Amino acid sequence: MNNNIYLNQAQLNAEINRCLNCKNHPCMTACPISCNPQEFIQLAKNGNYSGAVKSISDANPMGQTCGLICPDKFCMKACTRSRLDFPINIPKVQASIMEKHHNIQDTLKSPRSNGHKIAIIGAGPAGIAACFQLLKKGYNVIIFEASDKVGGALNLIPGNRLPSEVINKEWGFIKDNPLLETHFNTVIKNPQSLLKQGFEHIIVASGEPNVINLDIEGEELTVSYIDYLHNPQKYATNGNVAIIGGGAVATDCALTARNTGAQNVEMFIRRRISDMRITNEERKNLLENGIDLTGMTKIKKVQTEKNLLTLHTCKTKFVGNKLEEIPETTIKRPDFSLIIKAIGSYAPHFEDTDKITYAGDCKTGGSTIVEALSSGKSAAEKIIQQY
């Protein structure tokens, strides 16, 4: 376990004492799932940690996980304190309170079953939030999950940022609820088929399982971020590693390659380095770990040469908002042992029907944990109003 991901008691006290207790709680307004930092920080400040845990857990079934990985663009960006000096590190405060004071001994309580049977496809954050909300109102919930565990894309996040125990701990509070049934290793190809089995409503929360391809010669020589992050040790190398892509997932790939022994890691980004959609913390980690960033560069081809991989790259330029290749700038970049493709993923788009509601990344496109949770919660609320 990486202890730096939590604050010690002295750090926690220092951080919560900086809270200005704003009555209009801008932090809560900025949180997609309406967690209330102003409230839980004041409770913690008064020593009422069980109240703080309850405040977080009532709003959010994955409060500790969010605390560890929520980006700084929500509650922290809204924190009034940033106008005085710098914002309170609300996510870290939240994660630390949950780590120290949320002891899972019991199971989420439900009222007596209301007789309605709802199916959820996918047990990532969106599916978990929908399940949590429905169980609290007495619905019978049956989850179908393609893999052998809950968490979805969270399972790809490196353990030094998000230890798997945290996901298990939060699921531990839900999993034994008597109104819940789970079917792991079960792929549902057609949600309509579940309606024929007697489910009244289906929530599809299947994420974005398809990797976006580069459509270039030699693409088969690259490894997708999904395959890589599922089992980084399988691809561990002390040679040079290229990452194609410049977002948060590409950043996780780069840092993981570095932590598993790569000599040099270089990220190739089509846009400017300043356009990378990553947090300040991620930017700092890339710099501190000596990851090379090559911006305004497009990959044209991959080939094998002398048992290693060569990239053919060319420079790009903006013409208005569009990126174009600069002619005659193609060069060869040889000597890579591993090339990881991390330019995104997608899901086919479907519209909601009367009986089928889409939630999370499969509905909105790649987002964040807290947005996926909020989307799952809204899907459940829609059902609660309907039945």
Name the site residues for ligand FAD (rule: CB under 6 A): 69-71, 121-127, 144-147, 152-154, 156-157, 187-188, 205-207, 209, 229, 248-249, 252, 360-361, 367-369, 372
Cα–Cα separations (whole angstroms), residue 146 to 124, 194, 223, 299, 372:
11, 15, 22, 33, 18
Residue 109: CB minimum distance to ligand FAD, A: 24
Listed ranges 32-40, 125-133, 160-168, 272-280: which one lies at the site for ligand SF4 (CB under 6 A): 32-40
179 makes contact with ligand SF4 (CB under 6 A): no
75 binds, among ligand FAD, ligand SF4, none (CB under 5 to 8 A by kind): ligand SF4
94 binds, among ligand FAD, ligand SF4, none (CB under 5 to 8 A by kind): ligand SF4
Cα–Cα separations (whole angstroms), residue 26 to 12, 51, 57, 78:
21, 20, 19, 6
254 binds, among ligand FAD, ligand SF4, none (CB under 5 to 8 A by kind): none
91 binds, among ligand FAD, ligand SF4, none (CB under 5 to 8 A by kind): ligand SF4
The separation between CA 142 and the C-alpha centre of its own chain, rounded to angstroms, equals: 23
Cα–Cα separations (whole angstroms), residue 100 to 50, 53, 94, 192:
10, 10, 10, 43
37 makes contact with ligand SF4 (CB under 6 A): yes
CA distance 22 to 39: 10
60 binds, among ligand SF4, ligand FAD, none (CB under 5 to 8 A by kind): ligand SF4
CA distance 271 to 278: 13
* Chosen residue from 5, 7, 31, 241 binding ligand SF4 by CB under 6 A: 31
Phi-psi region of 185 (alpha: psi -120 to 50; beta: other; left: phi over 0): left
60 makes contact with ligand SF4 (CB under 6 A): yes
Q: Which of 347, 225, 337, 243 is nearest to 292 (CA)?
A: 243
- Pick the closer one to ligand FAD by CB: 97 or 369: 369
Residue 184: CB minimum distance to ligand SF4, A: 27
299 binds, among ligand SF4, ligand FAD, none (CB under 5 to 8 A by kind): none
Cα–Cα separations (whole angstroms), residue 299 to 34, 202, 204, 333:
41, 41, 35, 10
70 makes contact with ligand SF4 (CB under 6 A): yes
User: In this structure, how many other beta carbons lie within 10 angstroms of the beta carbon of residue 169?
Assistant: 18
Where do we find the tokens 């040469």?
A: 305
Where do we find the tokens 């845990």?
A: 53
98 makes contact with ligand SF4 (CB under 6 A): no
* Chosen residue from 38, 57, 94, 206 binding ligand SF4 by CB under 6 A: 94
79 makes contact with ligand SF4 (CB under 6 A): no
The separation between CA 251 and the C-alpha centre of its own chain, rounded to angstroms, equals: 13
DSSP, res 140:
E
Q: Which residues bind ligand SF4 (CB under 6 A)?
A: 31, 33, 35, 37, 60, 66-67, 70, 74-75, 90-91, 94, 370
